[in-house]
Chain A
Amino acid sequence: METGYISAFWFVVIAAVTVPLMLGVGALLRPKGITTKKGTQAYECGEDPVGSAWVKFNIRFYVVAIIFIIFDVEIAAVLPAATLFREAVLGGQGAFVFAELFLFVALLVLGLIYCWVRGDLEWVKGVTKYAPKK
């Protein structure tokens, strides 16, 4: 196993322990008995909150997430080819690896064009298109 991952493990552990440590130090040091009174509400600039904050949100966040996953998976697929690119070019197989890489990028571009034409990249969708005509 790569020994570098031992360091990575310790970094994650120590960073994770830091948070309860700092909050724990605070709990020991702070003056006792002064607490916010019960029945406090979510902060909405002095207004009484209406309903729960856990509401259904706009579908466009979901669309963005889907596009992100597709692109990110494709980038993950490009990484091995990209890592071997230099070696192959210096080894005289330039045309082959370039075609391979170009194919990957072309697929990404095609996907981007598809999303663009479909209008998934528009954050503000025109309501007039779907509104009933008078």
Chain B
Amino acid sequence: MPANSALFAQTLTQWTQGTWLATVPLWAWALVSALIIIYMLALPFGGIATYIERKIAADMQDRIGPNRVGPFGIFQFAADAIKMISKEDYVPPGGDRFLFNIAPVLVVVGSCAGFVALPLGQYLVAGDINIGILYIMAVTTLIAPGILLGSWASENKWSLLGGLRSAAQIVSYEIPVALSMLPVILISGSLQVGEIVKQQGWNPADPIHANAHFWNVFHNPFTVIAFFILFVGGLAETNRIPFDLPEAESELVSGFNTEFSGMRFGLYALGEFVDVFVMCALVTTLYLGGWQLPFLELDKFWITLPSGLIALIHVGFFMGKTLLLVFVVMWLRWTLPRLRVDQLMGLCWKGLVPISLFNIVGTAVWMWAFKGQSMIQVLGSLFSGGSASH
């Protein structure tokens, strides 16, 4: 592990060695990496996701969906952005102007800052902070005060109801989400995302490797449950259907963003989609092996691949897994009906929290009993032990 944890900036420094760019200090490269990731990954994803979601929705309802702007309507999100930017910047007259301005900032910061510790590739982490998981957990929670402040500042009853529901919901589901991350921490013994992903590799030539096991979902029976709890809790934290009570349009008009219009509404929508991406990327990182390929470690491959190609394949696999989860999130929207408030809170406190507490104890017992080996390793050593005896 390099002592330097600003890995993305470090990679940029290495690429530019020998040119005049080599004199640029590390903090400037950190700024460049932040600009690249926010303006070329996070915000464009938020925009394109609106188009993709509408297309998926259209497909599932046997409609055509957006098809006017550009081929297959792919420039719909650009047209939407232009429309939203040119709308009037309306602030409700009765509301609290300062809080109304602050609220979208909190939502956008909360969703974009999570990208710092997401490992897009082996050496493509903007900042591989040593408390990465804790950092993501803490920073994404900024969205809850953002939504609550925005709803309070609107001075609108729909908004306030939606905002309060949202605060109670996000705060409650934070508990099962945090508890479902604990099994991974127990297994990997680190809060650093880079280290956690590295341990999820699996080389078939060396299956019973001490520090590497397969993806964390398949580590033991309890992590399978924890994976699903983390995903469900993540859905609730990002206010997605079936947990979209804060903006339940059939009862609360538009919930917390009723009084938000134009680009301010756009920023909320953008923040929500970016948050969905961060949540799915986090699930991928913790349980689905991040940038790791299944059953292959490219740097221990039988032919030596150029490092650029390896990095590209890693990023491709990471994005593939994450976008698959994003697709499931969008799919669920047209599959499940919305929950009632008391069902929502009951599911969290009486269902998910006890199960995830059970998972922690179960994982601890497994780790203790099998000396940290995964299911596959335990089975593998059983079979190899059996064959060695005769």
Contacts and interface: CB of A to CB of B under 8 A. Distances in A.
Contact of A26 (B35, B89, B93, B191): B89
Nearest to B368: A94
B92 interface: yes
Contacts of A18: 38, 43, 108, 112
Given A19-B105, A82-B182, A85-B189, A11 B157 contact: no
A79 B108 contact: no
Contacts of A39: 93
Contacts of A25: 85
B186 A14 contact: no
A10 B105 contact: no
A61 B341 CA distance: 12
Interface residues of B, number: 93
Interface in A51-105: 52-55, 57, 61, 64-65, 67-68, 71-72, 75, 78-79, 82-87, 89-90, 94-95, 98, 101-102, 105
Contact of B35 (A6, A14, A52, A105): A14
A4 B88 CA distance: 39
B55 to A, nearest CB: 25
B346 interface: yes
A89 B159 contact: no
B26 A3 contact: yes
> Could you say which interface size class chain A belongs to?
35 or more
Given A3-B6, A14-B35, A82-B185, A8 B129 contact: yes
B129 A86 contact: no
Contacts of A131: none
Given A19-B104, A42-B154, A83 B357 contact: no
A82 B190 CA distance: 9
Contacts of B172: 64, 68
A75 B93 contact: no
B263 A26 contact: yes
Interface of A: 2-8, 10-16, 18-20, 22-23, 25-27, 29-31, 34-36, 38-45, 49, 52-55, 57, 61, 64-65, 67-68, 71-72, 75, 78-79, 82-87, 89-90, 94-95, 98, 101-102, 105, 108-109, 112, 115-116, 121-124
12 contacts: A4-B6, A7-B9, A11-B126, A43-B156, A43-B258, A43-B259, A44-B157, A79-B134, A85-B189, A94-B368, A105-B361, A123-B342
For the complex of A and B, list the 10 residue pairs with the smallest distance between their C-beta atoms, beginning with the closest: A86-B189, A4-B127, A7-B127, A15-B112, A123-B342, A4-B5, A10-B34, A3-B6, A4-B129, A42-B156
